[in-house]
Structure 1
Amino acid sequence: MAARLFEGKVHAAAYLRYRITPHEFISKIMDYMKKKTPNQLNLAVDVGCGSGQGTIPFAPFFTRVVGTDVSPAQLEMARTNSNPPNVSYRQCPAEELPFASGEVDLVTAMTAAHWFDRQRFLLEADRVLRPGGCLALLFCSPAMVKLKYGDVSNTLNDICQEFYAALLPFFSPYLGLSLTRDQVKIYKDIYNSCSYLEKEWHDCFPVKRIVPLTGYTGMLKTIHGYQKLQETDPAEAERLLNDIQNRLLSAMKASSPDTEVTMIFPCHYLLAHKPL
Structure 2
Amino acid sequence: MTRRLFEGKDHAAAYMQYRVAPQEMISIIMSYMEKRASKKFNLAVDVGCGSGQGTVLLAPHFTRVVGMDISAAQIEMAQTNSRPPNVSYRQCPAEELPFAPGEVDLLTAMTAAHWFDRPRFLLEADRVLRPGGCLALLNYTLDMELEYGDVSDALNDICKELYAALLPFRAPYLGLSSAKIYADMFNSCSYPDKEWNECLRVKRTLPVGAYVGMVETFSPYQVLKKKDPAEAERLSKDVITKLLSAMKVSSPDTEVTVVVKYFYWLACKP
The alignment's TM-score, normalised by the length of structure 1, stands at: 0.96
Structure 1 residue identity aligned to 2:208: L
Shift of 1:151: 1.4
Runs of 4+ in 1 over 6 A off after TM superposition: none
* Structure 1 vs Structure 2 CA RMSD: 0.9
- Matching residue of 1:161: 160
1:227-242 aligned at under 5 Å gives the runs 227-242=222-237
Question: Which structure 2 residues correspond to residues 38-57 of structure 1 after superposition, within 5 A?
Answer: 38-57=38-57
SS in 2 for 1:209: strand
Aligned to 2:3: 3
Write out per-residue CA displacement over residues 151-179 of structure 1, whole angstroms, 9 at most, x where no aligned residue.
11111111111111111221112312x1x
Q: What is the CA distance between 1:37 and its match in structure 2?
A: 2.1
- Measured against aligned partners, the alpha-carbon deviations of 1:176-227 in whole angstroms (never above 9, x if no partner) come to 2x1x2xx111111111111100000112111000111111011011011111
CA contact (8 A) 1:40 1:105 kept: no
Provide the C-alpha distance between the structure 1 equivalents of 2:173 and 2:73, rounded to a whole number of angstroms: 22
Query: Match of 2:252, as an amino acid?
Result: P
Structure 1 gaps, min length 5: none
Name the structure 2 match of 1:150. Answer: 149
Indicate conservation of the 8 Å contact 1:135/1:273, yes or no. Answer: yes
Q: Could you say which residue in structure 2 is the equivalent of 1:76?
A: 76
Contact 1:48–1:94 at 8 Å: present in 2 too? yes
Return the offset for 1:144.
Answer: 2.4
Conservation of the 8 A alpha-carbon contact between 2:70 and 2:94: yes
User: Does the 8 Å contact 2:40/2:61 carry over to 1?
Assistant: no
Q: What's the CA shift for 1:83?
A: 1.2
Mapped contact 2:54–2:110 kept (Cα < 8 A)? yes
Contact 1:37/1:133 (<8 A) preserved = no
Give a deviation string over 1:14-39, Cα, whole Å, max 9, x none: 00000011000000011111111221
- The one-letter code sitting in structure 2 at the alignment partner of 1:17 is Q
User: Residue by residue, what CA displacement relative to the aligned partner does 1:226-265 show, whole Å, maximum 9, x if unpaired?
Assistant: 1111111111110000000000111111111111100011
TM-score by length of 2: 0.98
1:90 aligns with 2:85: no
1:271 aligns to 2:270 (yes or no): no
1:74-223 paired onto structure 2 within 5 Å: 74-141=74-141, 143-176=142-175, 178=176, 180=177, 183-223=178-218
Letter in 1 for 2:161: E
Aligned length in residues? 270
Identity of aligned residues (%): 67
